[in-house]
Amino acid sequence: MTPPRALPRIVERSLRPVGGRCYRHCDQPLRFHALRLGGPGTGWVLACPSGVVSVTRYVEWGDRPPTARLWRELRRRTVPPTLVRRRDLRSATRHGPELGRPAERDLARRPGGAARVVYWRLYPFRRRGLEHRLFVCLRHGRREAVFFAAPTAGEVPRCPRCGSAVGPRRRSNP
């Protein structure tokens, strides 16, 4: 039995992100990475191989969107925390018909509620004449991913917590 507010597995699978491309950055395929975002639901971050975040989203089952809790959790993981603004968190409710037949049948057997989705998207911005984008460092694990803004031109961005270069790991030539 799933705990209250946790997503039924069939609903979680139907809400899993699908591909796409890194828009206006590198045009590489986006990859999704599962995250633990401090609640009973499921979180994902969609990022290109360079670590540029397209969108972060969190989904749980319930009567109200988990926006306030997610805002606190994202601020805890973001350097500086002021990058996470309430106006950048968007919530949506997902019901049976838009999730597909198997999920719709499963939801019909459950009392009330719906899947609540909160999206966090930080659009590129300029600072000191350079375009900055949101990056994610996943070297801290699913429970402690770190978000930060960095310029996309010039040096490879480094995580402010661990100092690792963000993006694909380079193979050394023997």
- Tell me the pairing of strands 130-137 and 78-79: unpaired
Q: Cα separation of 93 and 70, whole Å?
A: 16
Which residues 6+ apart lie within 8 Å of 110 measured at CB?
Answer: 8
Q: What is the per-residue pLDDT across 71-93, written as a single tens digit (0 to 9) for each?
A: 999 999 999 999 999 999 998 88
Residue bearing the bigger pLDDT, 73 or 110: 73
Q: What is the pTM of this model?
A: 0.82
HSE at residue 53, side-chain half, CA atoms within 13 A, is: 26
Per DSSP, 52 falls in state: B
Per-residue pLDDT at 3 exceeds 60? no
CB 30 within 8 A of CB 48: yes
The mean pLDDT of 63-75, rounded to a whole number, is: 86
Say what the pLDDT of residue 30 is.
Answer: 84
